[in-house]
Structure 1
């Protein structure tokens, strides 16, 4: 569940940059969206709380002051934290130069997560879009102007959560992540990853801690459990089969790890997530933004 407010806009002609929708949401614990594919670029920026974002086999744990990009026709899934559910603003946009502007801010498919110290400004711009939503030329121009300001504020101070200053280090991380994605169903050890990319175990751990924020085995564990959660939602495989498919030879060990990861056993998660997906299927996100939040 979430308390949200969203506005959608239609455009007769394709322009360089066009606002398609915008909104604000205060979510409940474990509220999620997806797996889904969207037709436009969407940027979410977290006002408070925590959550998780999954895209292209990667998992990002995010909190206040961070944001994430959803690209057109790319399947994504995101979920609010169980204890500190996030509130966020979002803008959806398109246009002939939308991709170009995004790349210039430093956000891309390779680095879809960013941080910005201009959270209050970003929030102000989105609420201004919401407030000035009449079908008039003046409001349409104002909304487009706010969208440019929104991207400008991100460009001023954004940095990708995974972007590395050293090209060689970035290559090591990329190769290590690729190895994990291709071999997570096997009994992988840190030495296996280090040997594959031809560096020692200690340096590999240092790189992961520096650029991803966790040791290699923790990243592998999260990747496995994320895959398991996806399979529980989308397939009819038994829990034992899913455990084996995600690198766990012992179903009991898998069940304990999954419960720690999601706060509930695998079977309960499957039932809960499917009931939630069914209840939200085709449902338009709508709600109320407090009037005080719209004051600019």
Structure 2
């Protein structure tokens, strides 16, 4: 479980050169895992304290305070807090055709995941400034887009290094095939049994091997992909929760709600509301966060 303060917007802004998507800050509990998930945004994370791991299809990165990681659009990523020192992190997501060019100028490659910054306070100030703009009017949308630009300029000023070396994931060909099938042949009724039949491997053997190599069961991996699809539909459509549950392969609306609350610490309805405003189960007030990082003093860095 994680305790989060989350700000989102329903504005798609797909044609913009750079546009705000969502942002937030989380304190995780020991061992909390997020993903695998897919996103259509560039999602920057800055680790504030504690430690954790980021898992891509090919590498694992072990990160701590003042490290960061970037989730690229349409990449499959999973990340997990340490059981001894669970991390806290902030995230800032954006879309836009201009982003790859900006990242290239900072030294990011097309597959850069991990990086480090000299300190996290300037990023907290950008985040706290975003929390002033919670309405759905064009003025606040433009302010949030400007803060997306400011987040990137802050990153360019405080970036220490990029392309930190990860640890290669030693996945067998069988597990790689299973993951490929799940991603490329996704459908609402997909199950562990279907995947095992699709790649012609005994289900029990595949399940044991998958868990051993990825530290997550095959069933949970599929369930989390269902949640990823559900999040997308909650944020981008007006389908009812019951319709989304059926579309994503859940047995009922209650099953989706239960899984959503266990992993997101909020209900599907609360998540949908957060796409157009603030949801806060972090345990601190928004005004406290604003004051703590001096948001009303302007956007200047230290």
* TM-score normalised according to structure 1 size: 0.62
Aligned residue pairs, count = 222
Gap runs ≥5 in structure 1: 164-172, 187-222, 247-253
Gap runs ≥5 in structure 2: 183-190, 194-201, 228-255, 296-302
For 1:27-78, what per-residue CA distance to the aligned partner results, in whole angstroms no more than 9, with x for missing partners?
1111111111111111111111111101131100011101111111111111
* TM-score normalised according to structure 2 size: 0.61
Report the equivalent of 1:220.
Answer: none
Compare 125-134 and 55-64 and name the one that shifted more. Answer: 125-134
Name which of 263, 288, 295 aligns with 2:281. 288
* Bigger relative contact order (CA 8 A; separation at least 6): 2
- RMSD after superposition: 3.7
Secondary structure at 1:158 match in 2: strand
In structure 2, what is the Cα distance between the partners aligned to 1:91 and 1:151? 10
Secondary structure at 2:48 match in 1: strand
For 1:53-107, what per-residue CA distance to the aligned partner results, in whole angstroms no more than 9, with x for missing partners?
0113110001110111111111111111111111111111101212222222223
For 1:141-194, what per-residue CA distance to the aligned partner results, in whole angstroms no more than 9, with x for missing partners?
33222222211122222311437xxxxxxxxx9xx959x66xx579xxxxxxxx
Compare 237-246 and 89-98 and name the one that shifted more. Answer: 237-246
TM-fit CA distance, 1:109: 3.9
Report the equivalent of 1:126.
Answer: 127
In structure 2, what is the Cα distance between the partners aligned to 1:119 and 1:82? 23
Richer in helix (by share): 1
Secondary structure at 1:101 match in 2: helix
Q: Does 1:3 align with 2:3?
A: yes
Relative to 1, partners in 2 of residues 1:20 and 1:271: Cα closer, same or farther, differing over 3 Å?
closer
Q: Please give the residue correspondences for 1:82-97 in structure 2 after superposition, counting only pairs within 5 Å.
A: 82-97=83-98
Q: Please give the residue correspondences for 1:145-164 in structure 2 after superposition, counting only pairs within 5 Å.
A: 145-156=146-157, 157-162=159-164
Larger radius of gyration: 1
Secondary structure at 1:131 match in 2: coil
Q: Please give the residue correspondences for 1:83-232 in structure 2 after superposition, counting only pairs within 5 Å.
A: 83-156=84-157, 157-162=159-164
Secondary structure at 1:139 match in 2: helix
